[in-house]
Amino acid sequence: MKYWKIIYNGIVPGNPVFVLLLGMCATLGTTSTALNGLMMGLATAAVLICSNGVVSAIKDFVPDKVRIPAYIVVIASFVTVLQLLINAYMPGLNATLGIFIPLIVVNCILLGRAEAFAGKHGVVESLCDGLGCGVGFTLALTLLGSVRELLGTGSLFGISIYPEDYGMLLFVLAPGAFIALGYLIAIVNKIRKA
């Protein structure tokens, strides 16, 4: 029950994108289509779960003053290992996900969760937190990607909904990302307060 609550907290009340406003760089940059958003979310979630687990396991061994570099090394290692493995054994996934993986390391959700949660809680709780935030991040990115893809190119997950010529190019570009994100945050806030 306790674990379920931690997972749920990452998805709705403490959603990394809509509530904590973490990882904006990756969020805005990669969500030009729903599929890109989904892929980036899943890749980040995988690293987040691993890094949360390890950070929580080594937290007592790392003195406070050097915890940030230590956590960064852990996160960067996981990202690199993931990248090498996908490169070597999953060529299909590499084609769609390849360009997003190095971007994960600069995502402040990872360090944010390591600092705010994994550094203070046990391993199992931290894994749950990683899972919850990962799922929350994935959902948020997919939602933002869907909105931008639908308004920008008239399709959803590559399936054409209306002719592309009527799409607003703005939403594929960076300004559209800010506008769409702003409105989504407003809507999510309204729903959360209701």
Partner 1 sequence: MKKLASTLPNMILSLGTVTVVAGAILGGVYAVTKEPIARQDAERQVQAIRQVAPEFNNDPTAESREIKLADGITCTVYPAMKDGRLNGAAVETSSNNGFAGEITVMAGFNADGSVRDYRVLKQAETPGLGSKMEMWFRDPAGARSVIGKNPETTPFYVTKDKEQHGAIDGITAATISSRAFLESMRDAYQAYKQFQEKK
For partner 1, the binding residues (CB under 8 A) are 30, 32-33, 36, 58-66, 69-70, 73-74, 76-77, 80-81, 84-85, 87-89, 91, 94, 99, 149, 152-153, 169, 172-173
The rounded Cα 170 to chain-centroid distance in angstroms is 23
Nearer to partner 1, 21 or 73 (CB): 73
Q: What is the DSSP letter of 15?
A: -
Nearer to partner 1, 164 or 189 (CB): 164
Query: Min. distance of Cβ 19 from partner 1 in angstroms?
Result: 26
Query: Min. distance of Cβ 11 from partner 1 in angstroms?
Result: 26
Strand partners, 160: 155
Joined tokens for residue 86: 């996908």
Upper half-sphere CA count for residue 145 (Cβ side, 13 Å): 24
Nearer to partner 1, 73 or 124 (CB): 73
Nearer to partner 1, 89 or 194 (CB): 89
Query: Min. distance of Cβ 136 from partner 1 in angstroms?
Result: 22
CA 122/CA 125 separation, integer angstroms: 5
Query: Min. distance of Cβ 135 from partner 1 in angstroms?
Result: 23
Query: Min. distance of Cβ 186 from partner 1 in angstroms?
Result: 24
The closest of 184, 34, 47, 174 to 106, measured between CA atoms, is 47
Q: Are 130 and 158 in contact (CB under 8 A)?
A: no
Joined tokens for residue 93: 């996934």
Nearer to partner 1, 82 or 188 (CB): 82
The closest of 59, 40, 70 to 126, measured between CA atoms, is 59
Specify the residue for token string 């929350």: 136
